[in-house]
């Protein structure tokens, strides 16, 4: 019988599949469709200090092999996430929870991470310095080594739980930014977030998305994500959560061979709410077909 278990910074997962932040809400919506405890872990919706309504609509545009979104970190704010969303999620989900934290200043990142660090339900903190759909925040910190390391250092000074920095692909040297985060104390890296893109309405001759640009996700970005996971694995010696276009059990194996310890599933959940469950169910079959007995032994195996 194959072994699908992996470990992220001391946190044991029954399998490496994690729904990506922003594509799975706070989990309980999906729990009405199937038992979400089949998941390895769950990364909930990006959280900021204050409540955010998000960007104006329309926020979504289709693209060949994927989609563009500019939701803009819509969330109820850190206080309500702690007082309402986390307890509600824990009623239906007993596996590890990854808290995705976003911000518009270093102080906001530190404040939110310090608050969430005290919550027993949360095992890992994922710090999003890569959101391309908000102005003067998110990705502005993740596009330079200085900005990324400043956030990582501030967050690590106020937390005890493992911190994973979620990086933007909209940079020239992803490995250098990952290395800066690790040197500042980060325990792991998540990559990639979405690629910036846009679509035009030919009749209106204007951008389809009100925000003009949006984040491109889906199968079309998988080769880019895989390449960046590979590069970061070559540079740093911390666990990596790989994401970007993952939509099959084969994609999970490929990501892990490139260097990922765990793999997040994003846009596939929006297309098919059963996507993560189906990937997990098929994973043992694919492992057997490829002669893999223990998933943890193939991490970085293609290097």
- Rounded distance between C-alpha atoms, residue 212 and residue 55, angstroms: 11
Under 8 Å between Cβ of 156 and 148: no
How far apart, in Å, are the Cα atoms of 51 and each of 65, 202, 216?
32, 35, 25
Query: Which two three-digit tokens encode residue 195?
Result: 């690629």
8 Å CB contact between 226 and 176 = no
Q: Which of 264, 45, 7, 9 is nearest to 160 (CA)?
A: 9
C-beta neighbour count of 28 within 10 angstroms: 16
Residues 10, 286: Cα–Cα separation, whole Å: 26
Helix, strand, coil percent content, the chain, rounded in steps of 5: 35, 20, 45
Number of Cα atoms under 13 Å in the Cβ half of residue 110: 13
Q: Which residue has the tokens 């309980």?
A: 28
- Residue positions annotated with a catalytic role: 131
């Amino acid at each position: 019988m194959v072994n699908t278990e992996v470990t992220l910074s001391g946190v044991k997962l029954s399998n490496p599949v994690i729904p990506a932040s922003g594509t799975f809400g706070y989990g309980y919506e999906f729990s009405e469709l199937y038992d979400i405890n089949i998941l390895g872990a769950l990364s909930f919706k990006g959280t900021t200090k204050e409540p955010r309504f998000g960007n104006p609509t329309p926020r979504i545009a289709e693209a060949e092999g994927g989609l563009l979104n500019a939701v803009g970190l819509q969330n109820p704010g850190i206080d309500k996430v702690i007082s309402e969303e986390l307890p509600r999620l824990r009623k239906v989900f007993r596996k590890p929870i990854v808290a995705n934290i976003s911000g518009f200043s270093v102080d906001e990142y530190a404040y939110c991470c310090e608050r969430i660090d005290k919550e027993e339900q949360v095992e890992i903190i994922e710090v999003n310095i890569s959101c391309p759909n908000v102005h003067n925040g998110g990705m502005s910190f993740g596009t330079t080594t200085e900005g990324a390391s400043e956030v990582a250092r501030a967050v690590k000074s106020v937390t005890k739980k493992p911190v994973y920095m979620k990086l933007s692909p909209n940079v020239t040297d992803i490995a250098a930014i990952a290395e800066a985060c690790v040197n500042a104390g980060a325990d792991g890296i998540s990559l990639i977030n979405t690629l910036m893109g846009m679509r035009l309405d030919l009749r209106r001759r204007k951008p389809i998305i009100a925000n003009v640009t949006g984040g491109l996700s889906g199968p079309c970005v998988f080769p880019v994500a895989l390449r960046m996971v590979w590069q970061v694995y070559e540079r740093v010696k911390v666990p990596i959560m790989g994401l970007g276009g993952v939509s099959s059990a084969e994609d999970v194996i490929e990501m892990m061979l490139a260097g990922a310890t765990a793999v997040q599933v994003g846009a596939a959940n929006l297309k098919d709410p059963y996507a993560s469950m189906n990937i997990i169910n098929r994973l043992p079959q694919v492992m057997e077909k490829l002669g893999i007995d223990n998933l943890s032994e193939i991490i970085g195996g293609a290097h």
